[in-house]
Amino acid sequence: MKPEDTTSVDSILAAYDEAADTLTERLEALSTATVLQPVAGFLPRDPARILDVGAGTGRDAAWFAGQGHQVWATEPVDSLRQAARGLHESAAITWLDDGLPDLRQSTALGIKFDLVLLNAVWHHVPPALRGASIASLAGLTGAGGRMIMSLREGPSDPTRPAFPAAVDKTIAQAEAQGLRLLRRSWVEAVQPENRRSGVIFTWLVFQRE
């Protein structure tokens, strides 16, 4: 039986909520500069509008805000979003209770973003919802803007299972939405627990023409 047959998005979000304290400590211990190093050359340098999808504890959102960018950070897990607000209070960050596949609140803003980031999020999107998710993400990426995503492969916590990465299919879905692939690369996980388990991440960088 495939994971998507037995696991719902709601159950995954509930598991994240239950483990929020432990996850907050782990995620905040990581350096955003180190995590995003594989795609550093594709990140905006001038002040930009950034959508951080699945922002978790807000670590990456705060890093971008500290570099002069305006950030909209979406996180559907209440406990993580509230922790992020407390840890990274900033006038440059707008917090949204929003998630895939629809990203309704983000879309309602009427903003086209210079960068749409999905860091360690895609593996929790069931395959049946990925086409609609890519369409939403592409619709939020402005002309000349980029969408950057990391796709996890390897063992996962049984309460928060990871669906297959399906890298080639994801690329095809993005290209069908008018996004051009600029970079495909893979790296070992930065988080020590994941690295020991043999987890790797494939990074994909797309650009809307």
State yes or no: pLDDT of 190 exceeds 60.
yes
**Tell me, what's the pLDDT at 94?**
98
Q: Are 64 and 71 a contacting pair, CB within 8 Å?
A: yes
**Tell me, what's the pLDDT at 161?**
81
pLDDT band at 7 (very low <50, low <70, confident <90, very high): low
State yes or no: pLDDT of 5 exceeds 70.
no
Residue at 121 is within a domain: yes
Domain that holds residue 67: 3-33+48-208
Name the residue with tokens 């995620």. Answer: 27
What CATH number does the domain containing 55 carry? 3.40.50.150
Residue at 39 is within a domain: no
Residue at 40 is within a domain: no
State yes or no: pLDDT of 203 exceeds 90.
yes
Q: What is the pLDDT of residues 148-174, one digit of tens each?
A: 999 999 988 888 888 999 999 999 999
Distance CA 58, CA 60 (A): 6
**Tell me, what's the pLDDT at 123?**
94
Residue at 17 is within a domain: yes
Give the angle 182-186-187 at the CA atoms, nearest 5°: 135
Residue at 123 is within a domain: yes
Residue at 76 is within a domain: yes
Residue at 43 is within a domain: no
Q: Are 109 and 84 a contacting pair, CB within 8 Å?
A: no
Q: What is the pLDDT of residues 67-120, one digit of tens each?
A: 999 999 999 999 999 999 999 999 999 999 999 999 999 999 999 999 999 999
